[in-house]
Amino acid sequence: MNVLWNAALPLMALALLPGAAKAATDGQPVSKGQYLATAGDCVACHTAAGGKPFTGGLKMSTPLGAIYSTNITPDKATGIGGYSYEDFTKAVREGVAKDGHHLYPAMPYTSFARINDEDMHALYDFFMHQVPAVKQANRDSDIPWPLNMRWPLAAWNWVFHDDDAFRPDQGQSAEWNRGAYLVQGLEHCGTCHTPRGIAFQEKALDQSDAAYLTGGTLEGWHAPNLTGDGKDGLGRWSADELVMFLKTGRTDSSAAFGSMTDVVEHSTQYLNDADLRAMAVYLKSLKPAAGAPAPKTDDATSAALIRGDMSKPGAQEYMDNCAACHRIDGRGYAKTFPALAHNPVVLSDDPSSLISIVLHGGKMAVTKDAVTGLTMPDFGWRLDDRQVADLLSFIRSAWGNDAPAVGAGQVKKLRNASSTVERKDPDKTNEPNTGQAQR
């Protein structure tokens, strides 16, 4: 297994750069609005693979059915060209479109509500004056009637949404407050890294609640704990390592995979060093919710493998498929193949990401500071559910790791879920909605 991630954001992959990122790569000046849109990774959700930036059409699965992101170019017929600044702000902060319909909370307006007025004006100017207008009709959701009615979202907002802008904590430094503003707002880290409740609401929106950024699971991937937990959080990470990870997608012992790869490629690598440092300072200030102890080194697994002892279930699968890259001692190779020993993702109680990466493979981020993007192959075609479960259970109990075993049923569930994901030909989609942008 070539790549294991220590922080992931489970959004769908894209194969294009946002305009701000491309400008930065070309050495051209980047406007404030471009910078903020890149920080918010707006292109990730509002661009379908192979489509033009910000024209929408990206499919996102929900428990009720699929929804599709919308055109946010300044086209007046199908985009947001007719939006005033007040309309734009209401949509971004409150989740209410110009025509009054409520947006699905897949649009992270619960986080974007934190964006201050100055930055909101810069974003509005960017989308209205720098993004090319493209006429591309929006597509209705696949959610069946009556579940597709929007009026219940008003009640959802009333119960769960706080639309107040970010308020600095006067007891913290300017750097901490900048990091909190970015993490809670534009970067919307909580969208994936905070657990969800029964109504699909984030259980916490900032550090005042112990549940904030303690990990969340969506679409077969677990976005890990970002608090200071020593076992499966960032307790053993330094601020420097966090900055390196956000800039390059890797550290000496970890690497981004899954959708976090795209976040690094299209968003965080383009943030300036001061903002990356501020985010790291804020994240490192988050106290662990559980306070689990850090794992201790145990060389018994390495010794057994060296002498050819394959008696433990999963040991043979590890040697046949993983050891060449991640080594017999599970320590991997710095900035190349991440460590499995004491890896927070390996130690997480939720093994969803481990199962998904073994079944489907992944790739490292390609950035201006780390131009080599190694690929981890998928093993779902050669390992059955029991073999995957044994392999992961072996890894989660080796080298001092202490995490629950993985069952074949868990693997089967994720394998079946991924095999039933609809992959539509864009030329064979339903008739699109020709109205204003919605979600």
User: pLDDT digits over 149-192, tens only?
Assistant: 888 899 999 999 998 999 999 999 999 999 999 999 999 999 99
Question: In the predicted model, what is the mean pLDDT of residues 44-56?
Answer: 92
Q: Where are the domains of the chain?
A: 300-419
The angle subtended at Cα 57 by Cα 55 and Cα 62, nearest 5°, is 140
Q: Is the pLDDT of residue 1 over 60?
A: no
Least confident of 175-184, 272-281, 363-372: 363-372
pLDDT at 294: 82
Question: In the prediction, which pLDDT does 347 show?
Answer: 94
Q: Say how many Å lie between the first and final Cα of the chain, rounded.
A: 37
Write phi, then psi, for 265 (nearest 5 degrees): -65, -40
The yes-or-no verdict on residue 84 having pLDDT over 90 is yes
Instruction: Say if residue 3's pLDDT is above 80.
Output: no
Reported as a pLDDT band with limits 50, 70 and 90, residue 103 is: very high
User: With left for phi above 0 and alpha for psi between -120 and 50, is residue 277 left, alpha or beta?
Assistant: alpha
Residues with Cβ within 8 Å of 84's Cβ and at least 6 positions away in sequence, in order, are: none
Say what the pLDDT of residue 77 is: 96
* Angstrom distance (rounded) from CA 323 to CA 309: 14
Q: Closest by alpha carbon to 263, among 96, 13, 87?
A: 13
Residue pLDDT, tens place only, 235-246: 999 999 999 999
Residue 419: pLDDT band (50, 70, 90) is low
Is the confidence at residue 291, as pLDDT, over 80? no
| Helices and strands in the chain, H and E counts | 19, 6
Nearest CA among 119, 90, 124 for reference residue 107: 90
Cα–Cα distance measured from residue 403 to residue 396, given in angstroms and rounded to the nearest whole number = 5
Within 13 A of 101's CA, how many CA atoms are on the CB side? Answer: 11
Query: What mean pLDDT comes out for the span 221-230?
Result: 93
Q: Is 300-419 in CATH node 3.30.70.890?
A: no
Which are the contacts of 21, defined by CB distance < 8 A and separation ≥ 6? 38, 266, 267, 269, 270
332/341 Cα distance (integer angstroms): 9
Token code pair at residue 3: 């790549």
Does 253 score more than 50 pLDDT? Answer: yes
